[in-house]
Structure 1
Amino acid sequence: MSQASKSPPEPKRRNRAVTVADALSGALDPMLKKRGFASRDIMTHWAAMAPRPYDSVAIPDKLTWPRGERSAEGATLYLRCVPGHAMAISHEGPAIAAAVNRYFGYVLVGQIRLSIEPFIPHSGDKGQKQRQPSQSTIAKVGASVEGVEDEGLREALRALGHALSSRSENNGG
């Protein structure tokens, strides 16, 4: 059998479910490296390593090492905190650093400092704006679902029709 008659190997199939973290890891790693994090562990496991209530009122912002070589004292971890908790976090900095170091099993963090930027929990959540559909849309959707006998299904289809029509109106189509 000659080399030309051999078929190329079948490509590896990737039709499996992957987590969002696995899918985005390549995109997030360069950004995290710029912030001083060698891996995503501090960001992804912050709730497990930080003592209460600091696990929910603060998040890691960046990790800076002293100039020169990485020293035995560890790095400075900058935290973004909810306004009003800065005093408590600055006071409890050694306890937070100890908790992070205990999680990793070595001295990673030498001190805790506060970042200039505040942390607003759920700041990424976008509220859905409820828009009232136009009268023509209400009439058109009502006419198309009036033949549905089940009232719950009819109301669900009506709500879906209003949402889709307002979406197409907003996109110019």
Structure 2
Amino acid sequence: MPMAKDDLPEPKRRNRTMAVADVLSGALDPVLKKRGFASRDIITHWAAMAPEPYDSVAIPDKLTWPRGERSAEGATLLLRCVPGHALAIAHEGPRIAAAVNRYFGFVLVGAVKLSAEPFTPGSGQKAQKTDQPNQSTIAKVGAQVADVTDDDLREALRTLGHALSSRSGRNS
């Protein structure tokens, strides 16, 4: 007997917006597990848990557990740090470990050591390239906004026109 239209289950909606973190979480988890992290909390919330200035000059690199005791408390946290802060981090290791443990509410980190990998803050930030419009675009947009009497509005419309023309030029 055919099913009525009302009896069919509601299909999952696939055309919804999703946060990038939600989409990438499945891809990042296996990589983080290889680095010793059970979850990405220590990486994503590092700025909140690490004492100043170590929240901005160091990042977690790896969590190593004692051999044979995968669930044992007291892992060693390896940190990447900015050159020049290595001595301070080595000296303040117990303080950093206490801050991480306080954040989680249990003894997760027993010791803090330095990773051999360097870290430079802001290395993930890319400089935005501003595309300059060509002369024909400048002339075309200038002619379209020439009749606007308000100087501020004319300049805003000119900037918008240049941005839109460079955007449409990339898509074609």
What TM-score do the two structures reach when normalised by structure 2? 0.81
1:29 aligns with 2:33: no
**Number of the residue aligned with 1:80:** 80
More displaced 10-residue stretch of structure 1: 37-46 or 72-81: 72-81
**Number of the residue aligned with 2:3:** 5
What TM-score do the two structures reach when normalised by structure 1? 0.81
1:50 aligns with 2:71: no
Deviation at 1:114, TM superposition (A): 1.2
**Number of the residue aligned with 1:96:** 96
Equivalent residue runs for 1:21-170 within 5 Å: 21-70=21-70, 72=72, 74-167=74-167
The one-character-per-residue Cα deviations of 1:22-68 (angstroms, maximum 9, x if unpaired) are 34322322222222110111012212221111112111111111221
* C-alpha RMSD of the superposition: 2.7
The answer for unaligned runs of 5 or more in structure 2 is: none
User: What amino acid maps onto 1:133 in structure 2?
Assistant: P
Identity %: 76
Q: Paired residues, what number?
A: 170
| Contact 1:72-1:107 at 8 Å conserved across structures | no
Deviation at 1:152, TM superposition (A): 2.6
Q: Provide the C-alpha distance between the structure 1 equivalents of 2:113 and 2:76, rounded to a whole number of angstroms.
A: 7
Q: Provide the C-alpha distance between the structure 2 equivalents of 1:92 and 1:55, rounded to a whole number of angstroms.
A: 13
Deviation at 1:86, TM superposition (A): 0.7
More displaced 10-residue stretch of structure 1: 42-51 or 132-141: 132-141
Q: Provide the C-alpha distance between the structure 2 equivalents of 1:150 and 1:26, rounded to a whole number of angstroms.
A: 52
Q: Provide the C-alpha distance between the structure 1 equivalents of 2:149 and 2:76, rounded to a whole number of angstroms.
A: 65
The answer for unaligned runs of 5 or more in structure 1 is: none
